[in-house]
Amino acid sequence: MLRYALGRLAGALPTLFAVVTLAFVLVRLAPGGPFDEEQALPAEVKANLDRAYGLDRPLPEQYLRYLGRLAHGDLGPSMRLRDFTVGELIATGLPVSLAVGGLALLLAAGLGVPLGIVAARRRGSALDHALLALSVAGIALPAYVTAPVLALVFGVLLRWLPVAGWESGRPADLVLPAVALALPTLATLARLTRASVLEALALPHVRTAIAKGLAPGVVLARHVLPPALSPVLGYLGPAAAGILTGSLVVETVFGLPGMGRFLVQGALNRDYTLVLGKVIVYATLIIGLNLAVDLAQALLDPRLRQAGRR
């Protein structure tokens, strides 16, 4: 297992390097620059700013200097928010995004997988049809639709939860954003789990175990869930990354000071270092989550570990 994990990690590092390189090139190719204003700066002022941030150097030299700072954990200063470094801005927004995204992920997995199992075991029942209908609605309605509706119903009409804002240590601020962010993934997990469990129930060895009179709980735990959860975990990796990195709309609707706000500001202002820092954080999260899912799948399916040794 250790060899398999090291092999997957060795494959993740070049991916991260490629993401950093591509992001560096793309932000430089975008029209405009960090110091372009509606009212043009005097030429000597702009030249001094370019010199201060190293933008007057050739692009390959800028790239190598950035990699050198990055190797020491330095993401550089923000070019537009000049009182802050990129690391400070990430330290401000990342905990909020992780709190909302982590809670949404727990909610989606904690409800979606059990609901899918229940629907599969009661296939064709009224409960199964109801869960299927709700899952279709959850998939069809994106977060930018459900978030305002949840805010209107539970925040404005019922006044049960805060509509917007963020106060550290107040869990109520996380409820509506987490629910809005979790619903599409929850619905997809429920449908995927249902299909995977039904497929596993049709396997010959599972049917034999049922025919021998094994308890339903034993059959489910030993023979059904290990193969059924493998495709679910395969989806959960990209889904978790999508939840943690795709909360921009939800953060905007509920007024949360998360990562998405700074990413949009950086993109609009052509703040090279801020955009690159956010991309690196998001890429690291995505690669790390997919690596964790690969390891979990290998624990469930020894064939993956054997394939990784070849």
Distance CA 46, CA 23 (A): 24
**Which one, of 282, 292, 234, lies nearest residue 260 by Cα?**
282
User: What average pLDDT does range 223-240 have in this prediction?
Assistant: 80
Q: What is the pLDDT of residues 173-230, one digit of tens each?
A: 888 898 988 898 899 999 999 988 888 888 888 888 888 777 887 888 888 888 888 7
Q: What is the pLDDT of residues 22-53, one digit of tens each?
A: 989 888 887 777 777 656 677 787 788 778 88
Average pLDDT of every residue of the chain: 82
pLDDT at 128 over 80: yes
**Which one, of 230, 238, 215, 251, lies nearest residue 290 by Cα?**
238
- What pLDDT score was predicted for residue 169? 64
Which helix (DSSP H) or strand (DSSP E) does residue 27 occupy? helix 2-29
Helix axes 172-201, 204-211, angle to 10 degrees: 90
pLDDT band per the 50, 70, 90 thresholds, residue 158: confident
What is the pTM for the complete model shown? 0.77
User: What average pLDDT does range 72-96 have in this prediction?
Assistant: 85
- What pLDDT score was predicted for residue 245? 65
Q: Reply yes or no on domain 91-257 having CATH 1.10.260.40.
A: no
- What pLDDT score was predicted for residue 301? 62
pLDDT at 70 over 70: yes
- What pLDDT score was predicted for residue 2? 62
- What pLDDT score was predicted for residue 22? 92
pLDDT band per the 50, 70, 90 thresholds, residue 300: low
30-39, 234-243, 266-275, range with greatest mean pLDDT: 266-275
The DSSP-derived string for 273-307 is HHHHHHHHHHHHHHHHHHHHHHHHHHHH-HHHHHH
pLDDT at 250 over 70: yes
Provide the terminal-to-terminal Cα distance of the chain, rounded to the nearest Å. 13
- What pLDDT score was predicted for residue 144? 78
pLDDT band per the 50, 70, 90 thresholds, residue 21: very high
**Which tokens go with 83?**
């009182």
- What pLDDT score was predicted for residue 111? 92
Counting residues of the chain whose pLDDT is more than 90, the rounded percentage is 5
Distance CA 179, CA 101 (A): 10
- What pLDDT score was predicted for residue 58? 87
Distance CA 207, CA 209 (A): 5
Kindly report which listed range (50-54, 106-110, 232-236, 237-241) carries the lowest average pLDDT score: 237-241
